[in-house]
Amino acid sequence: MKNKDSEIIICRCEDITREQILECISEGYETIDEIKCVTRAGMGPCQGRTCRSLIAAELSGAYKVPMEDVVMTTFRPPSVPVSLGTLADAYDNG
Amino acid sequence: MKKSYDIVIIGGGIVGCSVAFELAKRRRTDVLVIEQAYLTSGATGRCGAGIRQQWGSVINATLAFESTGIFENLEEYTGYKGNCGLNQGGYLILAYTEKEWGQFHKNLKVQHSVGIDSYAVEVDGINEIVPHLNTEGLYGATFCAKDGHADPFHCTYAYAGGAQRMGVDIETYTTVTGFVVKNGRIQTVRTNKGDVQANIVINCTGGHAAIMAAMVGDELPIYPERHQILITEPVAHIMNPMVMTFHRHFYVQQTPHGSVIMGIGDQAEPVSLNICSSWQFLEHCSYLITQTLPVFRNLRVVRQWAGLYDMSPDRYPIINHAKEAEGFITIAGLSGHGFMVAPRLANLLANHLTEQQDSLDINLFSAERYSRGELLLEPSVV
């Protein structure tokens, strides 16, 4: 049996479903960045490692463009979460 | 995109979209907004989105106070079905020197004259507002419970959607490449998607505003300056207000979502269009914040980014008619607090263009003040 879009999680960090992503696309949002801004998909601890390509696939299907032509988001540092204490000590130690 | 519009607005951030909305509301609906990437992709989407009314001058306090009133009802005002994320947790502004503490008392008088409900907090009262704050070295603080934070994306989309429903066109992923000025009047906006005729062009391009204005011959003293921000993983709520200090140059707030957002003002930042983030910021910011709020030491940073302040020499907005090209207006130089004053400035500019009265004099913001040597002064900027 096929899962409902409202039960398919695209962004696991922020609990964003496929239904929400499709709703953004139907409202005219065209890029992963825009969908990130309105839904928070990709803003959680993993920084979009899973949802980025899943959203790209949805955009590719909806706008009929090849996956490689979907505009990627900027990959922002740090690549893994780092505690403020660790960073502060690094500053303190020069 | 048609070939001709009454008004062309360049820049799809909070300024461009709020101006478009206010014009449309005044029945100037033959308007096009041109945005280089997507709405909020510039400074608006990168900003801290704080809303502070605790200013040290009547003009800034008035702009922020009246803008806050608009933010408080923005969804209803614009007909937006989303949530603009306004969270009025207050701003706690820390005084680390005697001079600062004296200045803050003067600022409170200014704020009270405008109708802002702010007050002084003695050192032993600070932990009642922010329990985990290290009060060492503090003289006191001021607090305004109606200050806060909103979602810069949703606020901009609210204005943009409202404008579109009244007939405004928005053209994203479109780059302005030049202008045609004929007989001292703006005539055409050149873009990578073709030429557009316009009676009026409004330049709302933030850090790029001086470059844009120079294309029609208007030399403006607006310059871009990189500012950086970081955000942590979301955790349970322990802090409602924005905590801010001018002396240590930082601001930090826990968002309604639970993540903690923070930034610092780097005094050595050179003028540039650089929007790359740096590891130096990451370490410096972490150090400054954890000195004042040690409770955050175990909180993990998930993301950092940078954006541009559009600085003006006196840190006040510039709303300027280009002498060289009649009909070309720049609204920029908002100096890092554009988001929080944009709603009121949009009203001011729209009233001006539709020849309606306004309680503020738009000429105050003309760039001519620099050649006359009549700078506006604001004592409280990060």
Assign residue A19 the CATH number of its domain.
Answer: 1.10.10
> Residue B181: is its pLDDT beyond 90?
yes
3-state DSSP call for residue B236? coil
pLDDT at B126: 98
Cβ <8 Å between A76 and B297 = no
- CB of B16 closer than 8 Å to CB of B7: no
Where exactly are the structural domains of chain B? 4-47+153-222+314-372, 87-146+224-311
pLDDT at A85: 98
CA–CA gap between residue B207 and residue B236 (Å, rounded):
36
- Fold match, B4-47+153-222+314-372 / B87-146+224-311: no
pLDDT at A3: 79
Task: Give the total number of structural domains in chain A.
Answer: 1
Number of neighbours of residue B276 by Cβ within 10 angstroms: 10
pLDDT at A21: 97
Q: Does A72 touch chain B (CB under 8 A)?
A: no
Alpha helix segments (H runs only) across chain B: 14-25, 43-46, 58-71, 74-78, 98-114, 123-129, 152-165, 209-214, 279-292, 338-353, 368-372
pLDDT at B223: 96
> Residue B57: is its pLDDT beyond 90?
yes
- Tens-digit pLDDT profile for residues A1-10: 677 999 999 9
- Tens-digit pLDDT profile for residues B250-271: 999 999 899 999 999 887 888 9
Residue of A nearest to B38 (CA): A34
Average pLDDT over residues B155-182: 98
- CB of B196 closer than 8 Å to CB of B189: yes
Cβ <8 Å between B282 and A88 = no
> CATH: 3.30.70.980, 3.40.50.720, 3.50.50.60, 3.30.870.10. Which one for B4-47+153-222+314-372?
3.50.50.60
Give the whole-number percent of chain A exceeding pLDDT 90.
Answer: 89
CA–CA gap between residue B332 and residue B211 (Å, rounded):
12
A3 or B318, higher pLDDT: B318
CATH class of B87-146+224-311: alpha beta
Closest C-alpha to B310, from B336, B340, B342: B336
Cβ <8 Å between A82 and B233 = no
* Single pTM value for the model: 0.95
pLDDT at B377: 76
Range of the domain at A10: 5-92
Chain A and chain B share a number of CB contacts under 8 A equal to: 86
CA–CA gap between residue A87 and residue B14 (Å, rounded):
33
Q: What mean pLDDT, rounded, does chain A reach?
A: 94
Residue of A nearest to B82 (CA): A38
Asked which of A21-25, A75-79, B146-150 is least confident by mean pLDDT, the reply is: A75-79
Give the whole-number percent of chain B exceeding pLDDT 70.
Answer: 99
